Structure 1
């Protein structure tokens, strides 16, 4: 039976009333009944049960196996449901977080991955092009991105099988096939689209809130050796498409109002559809922590990102591409100016490694400042590397 939550959360709990992220869960007594839940401290509010008990007009949106019906309902409904949820926090219909099973919270439509950190792009450029310009000529004029694979986005806690593919070092006469030996992480922040947009209807910077439902952490795993051999001239493919891990919790965009911050100073004039000089601050002051096998290896600051999520969405749609409910886009690796703020092993080790070994477990966590000193939490992303199938460990 559902339990009552503790009346008072511990001070500084990042999953208090200012956060209230949404997910999808099942319980041991109803393993075939996934429904929408809201995290509150170390408990999960059964939002479907609470809505039904209170006669909410939105009960049907919450008794669903994914967040997609809620996402599609649009921002006025998102705001109304969030207000109702706050009124349900003193009642029953809570389950201990440790006793539920969390599911992939939304059905992913399309997936776009960006390359929005100037620090990351500069560090990587110096590694790959030590005698040339670190940034490509287009980098300061548009947010660079590519379409990823939606079908291999997995929820936090899912094991990541070491990918196999072709790789070739400069010393090799011909490529070889086998498990990646340079498996890496990429600490990123993702954005979930709710309200769709038809073809040939670009989403302007000021319409960002009308379309984006919420925010989550992302680990966009990367097989650097496979990627290095395959990516010229068309870009990432098998080196990226094997797995992308996302949090089980989607924190509503409105929860980050107190964490809004101006992006870094732009060094090049922007075309009108990307010029956010007169828009609300597009950056979010998220403080990310990366741990490998329990040891903190980096603290990337999302506030340092050159291109904002609103600019990324504007660029995604400026050519006439449509938006669908469940579309998902990620920031690209988040890195800051300091050595301990780099969001991938490629940067942290300056290309030398070591990279991930079988059995390594990677966990990303993050929080942002909220109202009245509160912290706004993002659900963690955890993944453990398991050996490539049918092979020995590299």
Structure 2
């Protein structure tokens, strides 16, 4: 009988680094199935083989050991697809799927590309130098800078020019880093592109916020959330210490507050603003609001200045009514002392002190003491009149 072997045009697929991928292959169902997965570019290296109704892995390449599988229950239905686990960059290339039954033979080819797309772009600000970086990328990425609104400082001799570098890790993936001078009054935008995937990170600096001990402070996070269904919101102190994280998923949210900040965090508004209270000078610094989605990261920095309370003197702490009351009381005390001295005929040598208001008349043989409006007679060689008062003054003669 005649054996017919036919092949199809190459199929192109893209799979993700370190993840699993299925290479599809089908044939007309029949008995005595034989399946070979080979890699022609590597001298028909054996990836996986199946015959006599079971896997045959003695000749399998060491590179693929423990990483391949067929869907055995689907083979009688004509499914010869290969599951390849934990992809590496070495796995990319052209694969051949050879199938044979009593009804005929078939070859199909699949070109598999492996990508490690840009997943996260990190952006930081330090001493007016902004740094943008991303790691674990394949193929080789590109990084570009822009601002909103647009600006062009390329002709400013004082501007630090962009500096971008890339390096390759042991797995063949790329890390990219770029630095440039931070442009104030603008949203600084960093875009990293690899293959068809693009990720963006933005950074802007808001006007400082002032607060004082024991006061309540609201630090805004000026990033639009109206059209977002799923995102993460993180507040940090000095871009290092995490204050809180909040995860939003289709209208529901879950928030975690770090133990060190539970006393200071009052609430998180619907717009993402951070409400703080019970602050001290140690809470002065840079507060960063980071909103991240699957595509973008937005970072907003705000400096919080804590102004200590000014020490107040006695006059600052008294109201005008209190001062008036004290003045009237002092005048009344002086009048009482003068009247007593007059009655005792001791005006020639009387003096008083308003710490307890004391009146001394040393020429008499009796002592009268006035304490809180009552006068008592005591036999002594001088008169002592006391009127309790709480404001200290220097002694003077009357």
Which has more helix, going by share of residues? 1
Higher RCO structure, 1 or 2 (CA under 8 Å, sep 6+)? 1
TM-score category, normalised to shorter length: under 0.3
TM value normalised by structure 2:
0.21
TM value normalised by structure 1:
0.22
Which has more strand, going by share of residues? 2
**Structure (1 or 2) with the larger CA radius of gyration:** 2
